[in-house]
Structure 1
Amino acid sequence: MPVTTADKRATFKKMHESGCFIIPNPFDAGSARALQHLGFKALASTSAGFAWTIAKADNRVTVDEVCEHLAALCAAVDLPVNADFEGGFAVEPEKVGANVARGVKTGVAGLSIEDSTGDAANPLYESRLAVERIKAARRAIDADHSGVLLTGRCEGFLWGVTDLNLVIDRLKAYSDAGADCLYAPGIKTREQIAAVVKAVHPKPVNLLIGASGLSLKEAADLGVRRISVGGSLARSAWGGFMKAAREMAEQGTFGELANGYPGSELNKMFK
């Protein structure tokens, strides 16, 4: 029986009610299908990972490109897909809302909006504007009656704004503005994570884990609901590619090619 978009959205919401799950980040339809094959129950897009597949830097893609990518991911798998929708591809709340409405149409089960400006001198939107942007995203989702889960992200720690109280205040404000899930990428210590979980309870918290960090069990014990890995899987893929390509370019040898995943196994997975 085909899995509908409504099924995916209902499943995704249910997953946030208890426990802790990993929501890995594919960067194209093939990697999404591979993650489904491995048994993951939900996926999340990665702005950086996708950007690199079209030879762009992170945060340099357009809303048209992202919506096309999200539609491809959703069509490739029977799993819920959460969209890294960056900052909504606009500053003004009404434009954020219009873009979120477009994003919802791709079939995603969840969507996040962040508060970073891209300006190192003023890295976060003014608090009131940031809240209005979340409210606009909430209105767009509700107007569509889609049931898409909205995640509010405070990017402070990624931009050197490491005042945990400030980050928590913003997350609580985003929760009040209608965010269903809260996310502060960059927090790492158990104390930081536990404080965020406690502050926004009972709403779920997403935790970013990269090359190091807590295990699934350790994060669950702190009350984290879901774990994403951002661009880490994409970087891992690029790591293998660049190592093999550099060997060929610089040494004229081909030893690293022996470390590739077997083509026969890939063909079985995608059959």
Structure 2
Amino acid sequence: MDTERRELAARFVELHREGCFLLPNAWDAGSARVLESAGFPAVATTSAGVAFSLGRPDHDYHDYLDTSSDGDRVDRTTMIRRIGEIAAEVRIPVSADLEDGFGAAPETVAETISMTLAAGAAGGNIEDFTGDRSRPLYDPELSADRIRAARESVDTADEPFVLVGRTDVLLTGGPLDEAVRRANAYLAAGADCAFVPGAADAGTIGTLVREIDGPLNVVMGLTGNAVSLADLRDLGVRRVTVGGSIARAMYAQLLGAAKELADRGTFSYAEHQIPQPELNELFRRKPEAG
């Protein structure tokens, strides 16, 4: 990691010390540059958005025996290449959505973290979702070992990096107390931050904040929830992501335009486009101050 990236990563670590910040999710260099221009202190990637931009489905349930290939899932090399492209184009820290680390074995997860560091990311999350309907979550002991291996990889690199332990208990229909147990186990195994997607109401989020022994990440925007960033700050949430919701909103606009063209042959969608000169100016790289 070069000096500039190391400084950005150290800044990202500091963001997790206190307070609450919003970490929006990008899927390519252009979307990351737009989010950077809005003044966010850092961006995360979204595996869903990356997959959609490649014409592929996101990591999800599969109904076949070959869980190693996961069908049309974006492979690790492609995903980390995109993470590297994003990190190279912005001057703010980038946190990587690494799904389940692209393999069950702790050694595979450790290798994924090493590759992510080499790509210039300042952080990354490892989830416990398997995609197997008969066993949707990795066993708790293995899940903790996977986080432990990721932590060892970070420590070996001796670079600033925020390791996030994500549990998909709530998304797979499990109880809140299991989500708390897993989140705390991942923190004990070396994660710097816990992530529990599926918590969307103030009561559930407040319980997680009280019972989890470390910083908590929640994801908003999945359902247009009325809980605001100010509400989440008051509840004690440390960081807020939006997952693939921005990408899905963009694709809603694209699909709407496509249907208008195909069904009506009209062009009203173009009334809401950003003018070409404005986008050119946004994407033109300016000299750094000082």
Give the shorter-chain TM-score range. Answer: over 0.9
Q: Which residue of 2 aligns with 1:116?
A: 129
Q: How far apart, CA to CA, are the structure 2 residues paired with 1:160 and 1:180?
A: 25
Identical counterparts, % of pairs: 39
Show CA shifts across 1:8-67 (max 9, x none).
111001111111111000111011011111111110000000001111100211110011
> What does residue 255 of structure 1 align with?
268
Q: Which one-letter code corresponds to 1:209 in the other structure?
A: M
Query: Does structure 1 conserve the Cα–Cα contact (< 8 Å) formed by 2:164 and 2:193?
Result: yes
The match for 1:198 is: 210
Give 5+ residue unaligned stretches, structure 2. 60-72, 285-290
Q: Runs in 1 of length 4+ with deviation above 6 angstroms?
A: none
Residue of structure 1 in register with 2:9 after alignment: 9
Verify the 8 A CA contact 1:45 1:84 in the aligned structure 2: yes
Contact 1:3 1:78 survives alignment (8 Å) = no
Q: How many residues align?
A: 268
- Residues 3 and 261 of structure 1: CA distance in aligned 2, closer, same or farther (over 3 Å): farther
Displacement of 1:3 in angstroms is 7.3
Q: 1:183 aligns with which of 179, 183, 195?
A: 195
> 2: CA distance between counterparts of 1:73 and 1:21?
20
Structure with more of its chain in helix, by fraction: 1
Q: Distance in 2 between matches of 1:129 and 1:256?
A: 49
Matched, 1:66 2:76: no
Secondary structure (helix, strand or coil) at the match of 1:242 reads helix
Alpha-carbon deviation of 1:91?
0.5
2:183 to 171, 191, 203: 171
Q: Give the TM-score, by structure 1 length.
A: 0.96
Check the 8 A contact 2:28/2:50 in 1, yes or no. yes
The answer to whether the 8 A contact 2:127-2:168 is kept is yes
So what's the TM-score if we normalise by structure 2? 0.90
Matched, 1:75 2:75: no
Structure 2 distance, partners of 1:154, 1:213, is 23
Q: Secondary structure of 2:137's partner?
A: coil
Question: In angstroms, what is the RMSD of aligned CA positions?
Answer: 1.2
Instruction: Say if 1:188 and 1:213, in contact at 8 Å, map to a contact too.
Output: no
* CA deviation vs aligned residue, 1:234-270 (integer Å, no higher than 9, x gap): 0111111111111001111111121222222111101
Q: Which residue of 1 aligns with 2:39?
A: 39
Contact kept in structure 1, 2:200 and 2:225, CA below 8 Å: no
Q: Which runs of 5+ in 1 are unaligned?
A: none
CA distance in structure 2 between the partners assigned to 1:184 and 1:68 by the alignment? 26
Aligned 8 A contact 2:179 2:196 in 1: yes
From 95, 99, 118, the counterpart of 2:112: 99
SS at match of 2:194: strand
Q: CA offsets, 1:128-151, max 9 Å, x none?
A: 011111101111111111121100
Q: Helix, strand or coil: the match of 1:123?
A: strand
Give, as a single letter, the amino acid of the residue that structure 1 aligns with 2:141.
R
CA distance in 2, matches of 1:160, 1:246: 35
